[in-house]
Amino acid sequence: MAFQTRTVRQRIVHLANFYVSEGRDTALEKLIQTLEQAECLLDQPEPVRGIRTFPSTYRQLSLHGFRWFKLHVYWFGYADHDGKRTLTNFFYETNDMPNQLLLDTNDVVEM
């Protein structure tokens, strides 16, 4: 079972609420589908395909030890925390990732 931090959950809910308020139903559906795909990838016992130690435009992210993958227009950062694969970061591809990076891997909840 995949996990995420509460802060990541808040970011996802905030984005979903934005899509709803703007009437962007297709974007909301795509977000939900992408999150389901991410959860399936994180649930796999083998490493996630397409893992990167950092998104190539942000080399400084490699210092924090998260692994990254991209689905659709979203970047996902995750770590193994207390034996659980935990989603620690979630970004839309054009976000300022280095200045919004979440380093806390505590306060973990199920996806």
pLDDT digits (tens, 9 = 90+) for 18-37: 999 999 999 999 999 999 99
Rounded to two decimals, what is the model's pTM? 0.76
pLDDT tens for 85-94 read 888 888 887 7
Integer Cα distance of 91 and 14 in angstroms = 12
Domain of residue 7, residue span:
3-110
85: nearest Cα among 52, 50, 47, 49: 47
50: nearest Cα among 81, 85, 75, 80: 75
pLDDT at 53 over 60: no
Number of structural domains, the chain? 1
The whole-number average pLDDT for the span 40-69 is: 66
